[in-house]
Amino acid sequence: MNADAIPDFLAEQRDAAPEELQGLVIEFETLWERKLWHQLTNLLIDFFNHPGSAPQRLQFYKVFVLKFADKINQLKLVDLALKAATQCTSNAERLAFMEAVAKRVDTENSQDALVFATIAVARVKLDLGDFDGARKDLDKAERVLDSFDSVETIVHAAFYDANADYYKAKVDFGSYYRNALLYLACIDIKSLSPAERRGRAYDLSMAALASTSIYNFGELLLHPILDALTQDPEGQWVRELLFAFNRGDLTTFDSLVGNIRKNPILAEHYRQLRQKIYLAALTEAVFRRPPHDRAMTFATIAAETKVKPQEIEHLIMKALSLDLLRGTIDQVDQVAHINWVQPKVLDMQQIDNMRQRLKDWDSSVNQLGNWIEGVGQDVWAA
């Protein structure tokens, strides 16, 4: 379609558009004639964002937007293309469409747009089950992203979201957890629907619990996304389980075993979860003690963690290897000398315990001061 036919196209689209969008289509023609590309682009984004525009997006993009595609912000061009691609009738059609978009923006001055489009291509490949192809595109996008001094947040958000979906499909819990949290750091979670927030919170919780590399849930426990689980009866116990792990609460863990065994993911990793809660109980037992009283006998550890005495040494070695604790083991006397415990998020009970420890420390300092004052009176007098 040549440029002279654009007014006729816009007139047809105006008549086909919902009444509340017809005013926008009329403005398109005015901005087109005046060559106000920036304003036209922003108005098109508003149009494409409206649910009522869905049936017209693909036609608008192919016939209208491509007429001035090289005159507008290329990142916004890809954004429009992504919204138009939702109307493709199949993943194969969507893939061809987005690959053409990526090729169009593959220029020296629009590398951010190329990354954005490449990520979109990777997402379609994920939908098609082409995991190797998706990984190749995501790695390519990451290399370009790493070369930027700065880039629009929307690009980083798209990358981390696609990366998280890839790792979710590959059942790589640790990598999914990290990328999903990075994605949430790039967006306003209020932009997600309640169902999306619950889904994200649930998936993050499952990844944190089932991962073999995540033993500190602090970042997730502090994130407002976790509040979404309080609105879901099925998710409330998952939230309770996370906090139980954080404070090494074996009693709560045991009370939730029935729920754990009914959950396919957690049931599959039950033995691993049991070891995790033992490690959490160990670190909590160390944390509760003042730094000068962290030489713990194996018998004491067995009593606090409910681990069999013959398995205590292995438990401590596991905690040391994961850098949850630092210290040494006296195998002869069966004593663990701990000099450091990994920091973690504290709940109100743990904060109260710390407050009590500070009060005890303050009291001991006062007693020491009074003793020094009493035994050193002659020195002070001189």
Residue 333: how many other CB atoms lie within 10 Å: 10
Residue 349 has pLDDT above 70, yes or no: no
* pLDDT of res. 232: 83
- The pLDDT tens digits of the residues spanning 10-58 come to 999 999 999 999 999 999 999 999 999 999 999 999 999 999 999 999 9
**DSSP code, position 302:** H
Alpha-carbon gap, residue 49 to 44, rounded angstroms: 8
Q: What percent of the chain has pLDDT over 90?
A: 80
* Confidence class for position 366, pLDDT limits 50, 70, 90: confident
In the prediction, which pLDDT does 166 show?
98
- Structure pTM? 0.87
Pair 218, 344: CB distance under 8 Å = yes
pLDDT, position 81: 97
- Which phi and psi angles does 356 have, rounded to 5°? -65, -40
Q: Mean pLDDT for the chain?
A: 92
Higher per-residue pLDDT: 357 or 21: 21
Bridge partners of 326?
340
Which carries the bigger pLDDT value, residue 249 or residue 233?
249
User: Who's near 311: CB < 8 A, 6+ residues apart?
Assistant: none
Whose structure tokens read 């033995």?
271
User: Above 90 in pLDDT, residue 97?
Assistant: yes
